[in-house]
Amino acid sequence: MERRTDIGPPHYTKFLPPVIQKNYGKWKYHEGVRPGVMVHVAESGDKLYTIRAASPRLLSVQKIRQYCDLADKYCDGYLRFTSRNNVEFLTTKEENIEPLIAELEAMGHPVGGVGRAISNIVHTQGWIHCHSAATDASGIVKSVMDDLIDYFTGKKEVPGKLRIALACCLNMCGAVHCSDIAILGIHRRPPKVMPNLAQMCEIPNVVAACPTAAIRPAKVDGKDTVEIIEEQCMYCANCFSVCPALPMADAELDGVSIWVGGKVSNARSQPMFSKLAVPYLPNNPPRWPEVGQTVRKIVEIWVEHAEPDERLGEMIQRMGWPRFFRLAGIQFSKEHIDDYRYAALSLKRTAQVHQA
Amino acid sequence: MERRTDIGPPHYTKFLPPVIQKNYGKWKYHEGVRPGVMVHVAESGDKLYTIRAASPRLLSVQKIRQYCDLADKYCDGYLRFTSRNNVEFLTTKEENIEPLIAELEAMGHPVGGVGRAISNIVHTQGWIHCHSAATDASGIVKSVMDDLIDYFTGKKEVPGKLRIALACCLNMCGAVHCSDIAILGIHRRPPKVMPNLAQMCEIPNVVAACPTAAIRPAKVDGKDTVEIIEEQCMYCANCFSVCPALPMADAELDGVSIWVGGKVSNARSQPMFSKLAVPYLPNNPPRWPEVGQTVRKIVEIWVEHAEPDERLGEMIQRMGWPRFFRLAGIQFSKEHIDDYRYAALSLKRTAQVHQA
Amino acid sequence: MAEGKKYVTPKLDELEKGPWPSFVKEIKAAAQKSPMAAALLGQLEQSYDEKIGHWKHGGIVGVVGYGGGVIGRYSDLGDKYPEVAHFHTIRINQPAGWFYTTEALRGLCDIWEEHGSGLTNMHGSTGDIIFLGTTTDQLEKVFSKLTALGFDLGGSGSDVRTPSCCNGMARCEWACYDTMKVCYNLTMAFQDEIHRPAFPYKFKMKMAGCPNDCVAAIARADLSIIGTWKDEIQQDDEMIKKFADEGLDIQRQIVSRCPTRCMDWDGKKLTINNENCVKCMFCINSMPRALAPGKERGAMVLLGAKAPIVQGAQLSSVLIPFIDLEDEESWNDLKQLLENIWEVWCEEGKNRERVGEFALRVGFGNFLEAIGLEPRPEMVAYPRDNPYVFYQTAKKE
Amino acid sequence: MAEGKKYVTPKLDELEKGPWPSFVKEIKAAAQKSPMAAALLGQLEQSYDEKIGHWKHGGIVGVVGYGGGVIGRYSDLGDKYPEVAHFHTIRINQPAGWFYTTEALRGLCDIWEEHGSGLTNMHGSTGDIIFLGTTTDQLEKVFSKLTALGFDLGGSGSDVRTPSCCNGMARCEWACYDTMKVCYNLTMAFQDEIHRPAFPYKFKMKMAGCPNDCVAAIARADLSIIGTWKDEIQQDDEMIKKFADEGLDIQRQIVSRCPTRCMDWDGKKLTINNENCVKCMFCINSMPRALAPGKERGAMVLLGAKAPIVQGAQLSSVLIPFIDLEDEESWNDLKQLLENIWEVWCEEGKNRERVGEFALRVGFGNFLEAIGLEPRPEMVAYPRDNPYVFYQTAKKE
Ligand code: SRM
Ligand code: SRM
Ligand code: SRM
Ligand code: SRM
Ligand code: SF4
Ligand code: SF4
Ligand code: SF4
Ligand code: SF4
Ligand code: SF4
Ligand code: SF4
Ligand code: SF4
Ligand code: SF4
């Protein structure tokens, strides 16, 4: 057989259920049916039910086949995944909803995350696959979602959407930098300079990689290498990305930081970056209880204080950061005050202040 | 007589009319009386009328004495100036208002600028006193205010406050950088390097003065001097501030730029910087008609479109910059797009767009 | 494949408990058949014990003729866990919108069970199907089976990364253009750019059908295409009244939260000043049947989003305020724009400089000039607020 | 002084026309008595002809024992206009709030008629009385007469610049602290710092009685003191009703424009959620008798405003969110804070680096530490949004 290249992905129409093919671009509205289930109604009157189930994203082929079994049974062999890595079952048959949900739940895949709910955590590789990770991804996600499950399934009501994301290092694979709550793995030790650096990496490249000029060429025992001006290092790990001989990971000092108030959608407010809430929590596997507690606390503040469909960041803007920090019981510290490129603009440059 | 130093200014209480001394800190409310006149009512019931008159700020001692004559006649010898350089006559006698106004107007000092009105233009020295000026100050101010007089006197109604300021060079003495409409003198030619530079200035200081590194040490005919990398110069004149041997002024290229949408108060919106509207208008003394027309046009747009008490910048945010540029008939150009330190943040980083 | 060595994993076992689906269960399921998955459990448990990862920087591995699509990965405990000494991932270009037939999915599973760990990510953050963990010698086999199934690799390295999109017109009433079509067509148009890295750095594209941006395009894609409309919001006054009757406080909950305050509600009738509407979607989201995007629909094109390394994160910013994307012409315009951008960026961009960083370094105005776009006020949140203008005329004179 | 030479000034004469008071008339009036003012007309007309200024960089001139207060100025057409060959200005510290008796003003006029051009600025942008144009030999004479009249020089150069303030409690119901008293007291407390430049650059102070900021303190003063309050807005429901009855659309014009949407209006009663109110003054401004600042009044202290040269303009940002300023203790705190700021800035600031630029260069958090203030969330618009934290603990370990 000839070796085929550059064929690209299969054409999406092959994978669309007939009801979608028919009503493509002709949907009229949607409604919630029950937690985790919505119906889209087409101009033609056709209805499409979506049942959204939790997925750990890291799936075995065995599990994918189980999904397929369900889709074959209830959905004429069609299913999809979402941009937050949930799995969605698509059917025109209302009567299929309940039995499908029952099977999903029996399999350990709760249904939820639609509408006003906390959906899946977008996350990254962590210790499962990445050399750069300052923490694990899947373990924290599992622990946090176990804790927040009622907000996913709709057992507990929430004011709107709240998006959680996790990235295991500052590279921030995903949208951690624009999430309502972001969990971010951090290093807190300057890179170690390995003795074989000059063999593995080009010193000028390494020096140039550092945004704060914390790296400079040096000679040790007559050999070319680099040295780190430790006070100038802010642990971005860009040098390590460029050169493996500058490892950052540290069993004691690595950990997790928590960020809040980001968003992506343009509804009401413009997209916003996540802001630092908690500068450091320890790596405490397997369940990272400090992370879970912090996230839950923040979620609870949001549930209590947000207006309908108000995102966390919008709520904080309205109530003020001072009150948020008070409610969350987080000590405001020097770390919270920006000192990077746009620091000037992060200061309170107005007399509009939330007085205590 | 012993030489007295460091005595500071006279104590302000000496200069306060008795009604103020009595009701100091005990004012209850104020009201407009007629254009240019307001009354403050104290808790005690006492009333203080303020009559605000236009001033060119540049005053001869003769004029000041005329003010004094009026203040003696109608205000028991008290008067004050405002933070926008108007003169205010203070009286408890309502019956004094009309005759005082009549005399002021006869003197050529129209009364106005209070409440919803366009007040005096805050401005600087220009060709009258400063070495740095790229345009004159007083001449433009006079011409623009002649044109806008009805908005000052209240003959024409306006939606709220609109603050105009002028600075004759980028040093921006005053609050040009935060004004509804700012008129700013600009140079558009890189500094000329005078042959005597090395005698007058220290070359390292001169080099360090340039924020864009457009200046570097050079030798000409064996003499130390500097050279200017012209493409890198953005005409800030900081080098000239530091070293007189780098003059910037140019009869043909100097001129005026127009900025809009700044504010200082914290009412509703936070303080805002003024934004570039028109990058360049020529110096056209004695009346700078291009400047006057541009300012009037912008004022008229504001008068037509603003909500009550809506500042120009707030209005533009609401209607969008595209519409503002269209209404004003100003061509949007490369110059309008920021390329300085915080340029990234000035871009439209949202899908919230005012579509044409 | 035979079952692998069994490791004692008390810490990981903890993560089998609880209501959320467990990734540990998934690894254990795979480990039933894959010694690689079994070894992964062992190494991961050690990481949980030691609080540190055990993967080394990847080397360059891949399939013949492709520069991207595979992430090389090696364990630093290869002696202890030889099955994961090599543990590369393969990125497979997902179908637009992440729709599948069970048939296609089963095909993928079969390939991966035979040639890899049996573990996947459905999906990676960029959007790819991720096959998690295999050895170099398996790559070609996987590749040839994938193409036989109709799939191809996605991007990695300094190339066009696998484009992704929201489900758009397939299942959403708000899609203002056909995200899946645009995603597919761009993917097909730039196969070479996806598979053979030749850029200064990665280049990502994402398409969202409306400003809700359900693929986070504005935060994560160098090129973000976001649907919008030009004309008036479609309004069904009957339905609005119904919302009001059912208890929605339209004044407080909707009108006063509109970002441009361009709505009025007199208790009976909603009046939208569409000229000031910035198409944020909020009112439409809140009253699904009552309001809908206008009829003159299309998209805007934004440039430059990226994560923070190393100059700080960027959001994409408007490059084309409105483009139809249905007709041939606008489609060609878009492709031409991309070619122009890449040309300029490849010419002058520094190594590891994302296009958004590049545009800012050279000045956004200069960048526009270089790629042949006219400056427009829709491109800025506000015009410059500093007086440091590089007046050109003066220099030429 | 005798009348000066008469110049033909057709361009300037144009500016005598029109309704706005004419500065040319003022110069001409002065020129009746002052040859200097007459020569100024000549030189200015030439500038109008040539479209260029004719002043040279100033040299160092001043009165004995003072380093500031006089701006030296020389004409580059000294041969042609010898009367303005030297044309220095004197900055005189205005009385707080710019209140005068006619007696004091006449005194000032007499001095200036005798020893200068007879031209003034009432006032300069910083707030000083500006005596515009004299020669070096007149300076001491002016100074001794000024002090005899009870006046003193203001600042110039790298010193504390003449503080200025809004009229505050003297004539405004919204003043939350006594701006004129604070202005006067700070001026008196720092006479040495005003008169003898010893800083890296200028340092300005301005006091506004409430967030309306009628002296533009937040835009123009290194230290901006702005009045505010802590408790609830004072509310007179009768008066509010009156506004409504008189046609104010409270919902549309007030409530929905509150920056934190913390008000509710049910058609009869206004309810303010004061916890979320940011004291912007808007609703109070709009309904003067009906609403008023709370009773627990004081001020906030902000740092760092400046014009754009050369790093770009800055607005002041919050340093102390709330300070009473009535009691001795808070007054001493404020002075101590200033001393601390100056000490750190003088020690480590670069030449021509304003304190706000300095604080940003060293990092605002580090700056706070150095001046002995605790970080507080009121100081930021938002906490950092980039992950580049200089974690201290780690470094110490
Ligand atoms: C399925 C999915 C798109 C896909 O192609 O996969 C999707 C689908 C819909 N989104 Fe979304 N959104 C999806 C990810 C997103 C994302 C991206 C993300 O989370 O990473 C965003 C941006 C989030 C952000 O701002 O940080 C997003 C912001 C929205 C919004 C705006 C919410 C807001 O007020 O800020 C709406 C409107 C609403 O909910 O009122 C929306 C509304 C919808 C609607 C109702 C649109 C429709 O009529 O079909 C869909 C059902 C949503 C639901 O879950 O309630 N969708 N939506 C994604 C489901 C993810 C999941 O599994 O939970
Ligand atoms: C006299 C003066 C203070 C002084 O000590 O000299 C003053 C006095 C008052 N101001 Fe002011 N403001 C004065 C300069 C300012 C400035 C500074 C400036 O213009 O450079 C500002 C900030 C302007 C800006 O934001 O750019 C200022 C922003 C305000 C505001 C907020 C307006 C807004 O909505 O943004 C108010 C409230 C209002 O008008 O509703 C206000 C209100 C007032 C009130 C009504 C306060 C009162 O109850 O007495 C006073 C009468 C004002 C009037 O003219 O309508 N005053 N006011 C200044 C008169 C200048 C002049 O001659 O026109
Ligand atoms: C697999 C994936 C995470 C995941 O678990 O989903 C991933 C994994 C890696 N990313 Fe990423 N990135 C992944 C999506 C992202 C995203 C999100 C996106 O594409 O929507 C981002 C943020 C958006 C962006 O591109 O800026 C992202 C920003 C980065 C960065 C920072 C780039 C920057 O300019 O700031 C790096 C560092 C680098 O390029 O050297 C990086 C580097 C890496 C590397 C290659 C590690 C490295 O330093 O070489 C990671 C390989 C991990 C591994 O061993 O498997 N990854 N990376 C995602 C790709 C899966 C897929 O193809 O579907
Ligand atoms: C007289 C005055 C303008 C006026 O007509 O009102 C003035 C005049 C000069 N200013 Fe100014 N500044 C004056 C208020 C301001 C203000 C406004 C204020 O103080 O509220 C500012 C903006 C706020 C600030 O300080 O940033 C201001 C920002 C500057 C700057 C830019 C400083 C910066 O850090 O960006 C310079 C340049 C310099 O310092 O080298 C400057 C420099 C100058 C010099 C000394 C020219 C120079 O480069 O040496 C001017 C002398 C003119 C002359 O010959 O009379 N002047 N200057 C104002 C002082 C009068 C007074 O004492 O009352
Ligand atoms: S966030 Fe960092 S550690 Fe995690 S997958 Fe991306 S590059 Fe690897
Ligand atoms: S981690 Fe970042 S800041 Fe530290 S040395 Fe490396 S590149 Fe520089
Ligand atoms: S703005 Fe410039 S030219 Fe005008 S007075 Fe100030 S320093 Fe002089
Ligand atoms: S004017 Fe400014 S940019 Fe130009 S050379 Fe001088 S200091 Fe540099
Ligand atoms: S981005 Fe818009 S069109 Fe796409 S799925 Fe989300 S709501 Fe629908
Ligand atoms: S789409 Fe947004 S901006 Fe437009 S009317 Fe609705 S809420 Fe307002
Ligand atoms: S700043 Fe406030 S207190 Fe001072 S005059 Fe203006 S309104 Fe009154
Ligand atoms: S003062 Fe401002 S923030 Fe406070 S209630 Fe009034 S309008 Fe709202």
Give the closest of C96, C102, C212 to A267, CB-based.
Answer: C212
Give the closest of C264, C312, C386 to D313, CB-based.
Answer: C386
For chain C, the structural domain boundaries read 10-148, 164-229+296-379, 234-292
Chain C residues with CB-CB distance to D251 below 8 A? 251
CA B99 and chain centroid, separation: 31
Question: Measured over all CA atoms, what is the biggest interatomic distance in chain A, rounded to whole angstroms?
Answer: 80
> At residue A118, does pLDDT exceed 70?
yes
Is the CB of residue D112 less than 8 Å from the CB of residue D120? yes
- Chains B and D form CB pairs within 8 A to the count of 350
Residue A206 beta carbon below 6 angstroms from any ligand 6 atom: no
Is the CB of residue C382 less than 8 Å from the CB of residue B328? no
**Closest chain D residue to A320, measured at CA:** D276
Residue position matching structure tokens 């680096």: D353
**In sequence order, which residues have a C-beta less than 8 Å from that of residue C332 and are 6 or more positions away?**
none
Residue D234 beta carbon below 6 angstroms from any ligand 12 atom: no
> At residue C297, does pLDDT exceed 80?
yes
What are A257's two structure tokens? Answer: 């930081």
Is the CB of residue D253 less than 8 Å from the CB of residue B307? yes
> At residue B51, does pLDDT exceed 50?
yes
Q: Which ligand is nearest to the CA of D53?
A: 7
**In sequence order, which residues have a C-beta less than 8 Å from that of residue A107 and are 6 or more positions away?**
A66
Give pLDDT, residue B356: 72
| Nearest of C289, C288, C177 to residue C229 by alpha carbon | C177
Per-residue pLDDT reduced to its tens digit, A194-252: 999 999 999 999 999 999 999 999 999 999 999 999 999 999 999 999 999 999 999 99
Residue nearest to atom 48 of ligand 4 (CA): B241
Whether A49 contacts chain C with CB within 8 A: no
Per-residue pLDDT reduced to its tens digit, C171-220: 999 999 999 999 999 999 999 999 999 999 999 999 999 999 999 999 99
Give pLDDT, residue D5: 81
| Nearest of C148, C94, C99 to residue C125 by alpha carbon | C94
User: What average pLDDT does chain B have?
Assistant: 97
Beta-bridge mates of residue A147: none
Q: Which ligand is nearest to the CA of D211?
A: 11
Residue C281 beta carbon below 6 angstroms from any ligand 10 atom: yes
In this prediction, residue D4 has a pLDDT band, given cuts at 50, 70 and 90, of: low
Rounded average pLDDT over C102-125: 98
Residue C287 beta carbon below 6 angstroms from any ligand 10 atom: no
> At residue B174, does pLDDT exceed 90?
no
Chain D residues with CB-CB distance to C254 below 8 A? none
> At residue D2, does pLDDT exceed 70?
no
Residue position matching structure tokens 């008023």: D292
Residue to substitute in B84, B87, B148, B314 for testing ligand 2 pocket (most ligand atoms within 8 angstroms of CB): B84
Please say whether the structural domain C164-229+296-379 has been given the CATH code 3.40.1350.10: no
Give pLDDT, residue C280: 98
Per-residue pLDDT reduced to its tens digit, A164-201: 999 999 999 988 999 999 999 999 999 999 999 999 99
> At residue C116, does pLDDT exceed 80?
yes
Whether C140 contacts chain D with CB within 8 A: no
Q: Which ligand is nearest to the CA of C98?
A: 1
Per-residue pLDDT reduced to its tens digit, C40-69: 999 999 999 999 999 999 888 999 999 999
Whether C123 contacts chain A with CB within 8 A: yes
Residue B143 beta carbon below 6 angstroms from any ligand 8 atom: no
In angstroms, the Cα distances linking D139 to A61, D31, D72 are 92, 20, 11
How many other CB atoms are there within 10 angstroms of residue A115's CB atom? 19
Give the closest of A271, A345, A351 to B266, CB-based.
Answer: A351
Could you give the percent of chain D with pLDDT greater than 90? 95
Cα dihedral A152, A157, A162, A164 sign? negative
d(CA B322, CA D102) in angstroms, rounded, equals 51
The angle at the Cα of D77, spanning D72 to D82, to the nearest 5 degrees, equals: 75
User: What average pLDDT does chain A have?
Assistant: 97
Listing from the earlier edge strand, what are the strands of the sheet with C223-229?
Answer: C164-165, C205-208, C223-229, C297-303, C317-323
Under CATH, to which class is D234-292 assigned? Answer: alpha beta
Per-residue pLDDT reduced to its tens digit, B337-347: 999 999 999 99
Burial (CB count <10 Å: 0-12, 13-18, 19+), residue A305:
middle
| Nearest of D308, D316, D366, D363 to residue A343 by alpha carbon | D363
Residue nearest to atom 20 of ligand 4 (CA): D126
The D residues from 320 to 349 touching B (CB cutoff 8 Å) are none
Give pLDDT, residue D3: 56
The B residues from 292 to 311 touching C (CB cutoff 8 Å) are none
Give pLDDT, residue D396: 47
Give pLDDT, residue A356: 72
Under DSSP, the state recorded for A97 is H
Is the CB of residue D66 less than 8 Å from the CB of residue B304? no
CB contact under 8 A, A8 and C187: yes
Cα dihedral A83, A84, A87, A90 sign? negative
Per-residue pLDDT reduced to its tens digit, B231-242: 999 999 999 999
**In sequence order, which residues have a C-beta less than 8 Å from that of residue B99 and are 6 or more positions away?**
B74
Whether C360 contacts chain A with CB within 8 A: no
Is the CB of residue C183 less than 8 Å from the CB of residue C165? yes
Whether A355 contacts chain B with CB within 8 A: no
d(CA C16, CA B151) in angstroms, rounded, equals 74
Please tell me the total number of residues recorded for chain B in this structure: 356
User: What average pLDDT does chain D have?
Assistant: 96
Instruction: Output the pTM of the full model.
Output: 0.97
Whether B341 contacts chain D with CB within 8 A: yes
Chain B residues with CB-CB distance to D175 below 8 A? 25
> What element of type H or E holds D256?
none
**Which one of A12, A109, A184, A242 would you mutate to disrupt binding with C, by most C Cβ within 10 Å of its Cβ?**
A12
Rounded average pLDDT over B294-305: 98
> Does this complex have an ipTM over 0.90?
yes
| Nearest of C173, C156, C299 to residue C227 by alpha carbon | C299
Residue nearest to atom 49 of ligand 1 (CA): C172
Per-residue pLDDT reduced to its tens digit, C239-260: 999 999 999 999 999 999 999 9
Is the CB of residue B262 less than 8 Å from the CB of residue B214? no
CB contact under 8 A, C388 and B236: yes
Return the ligand 5 atom nearest residue A176 CA: 1
Whether B355 contacts chain A with CB within 8 A: no
Under DSSP, the state recorded for C253 is I
Whether D251 contacts chain C with CB within 8 A: yes
Chain D residues with CB-CB distance to C257 below 8 A? 261
Burial (CB count <10 Å: 0-12, 13-18, 19+), residue A92:
middle
Chain D residues with CB-CB distance to C264 below 8 A? 252
Whether B192 contacts chain C with CB within 8 A: no
d(CA B167, CA B187) in angstroms, rounded, equals 12
Residue nearest to atom 60 of ligand 4 (CA): D124
Could you give the percent of chain A with pLDDT greater than 90? 98
A200 C-alpha to center of ligand 6: Å?
Answer: 17
d(CA C279, CA C260) in angstroms, rounded, equals 10
3-state secondary structure of D168: helix
Is the CB of residue C309 less than 8 Å from the CB of residue C352? no
Residue position matching structure tokens 């299309």: C298
Domains D10-148 and D164-229+296-379 share a fold: no
Chain C residues with CB-CB distance to D308 below 8 A? 386-388
> What element of type H or E holds B1?
none
Give pLDDT, residue C1: 46
d(CA B127, CA B79) in angstroms, rounded, equals 30
- Chains C and D form CB pairs within 8 A to the count of 24
CB contact under 8 A, D385 and C313: yes
Cα dihedral D248, D253, D259, D265 sign? positive
Under DSSP, the state recorded for D272 is E
Whether A231 contacts chain D with CB within 8 A: yes
Give pLDDT, residue C394: 53
Please state whether the peptide bond connecting residue D310 to the residue before it is cis, i.e. omega within 30 degrees of 0: yes
d(CA B72, CA A241) in angstroms, rounded, equals 78
| Nearest of D2, D12, D146, D3 to residue D66 by alpha carbon | D146
Per-residue pLDDT reduced to its tens digit, B10-32: 999 999 999 999 999 999 999 99
B239 C-alpha to center of ligand 8: Å?
Answer: 6
Q: What architecture is the D10-148 domain classified under in CATH? A: 2-Layer Sandwich (3.30)
Give pLDDT, residue D397: 44
Give pLDDT, residue C17: 98
Compute the nearest-CA separation of D312 from chain C (Å).
6
Is the CB of residue B143 less than 8 Å from the CB of residue D15? yes
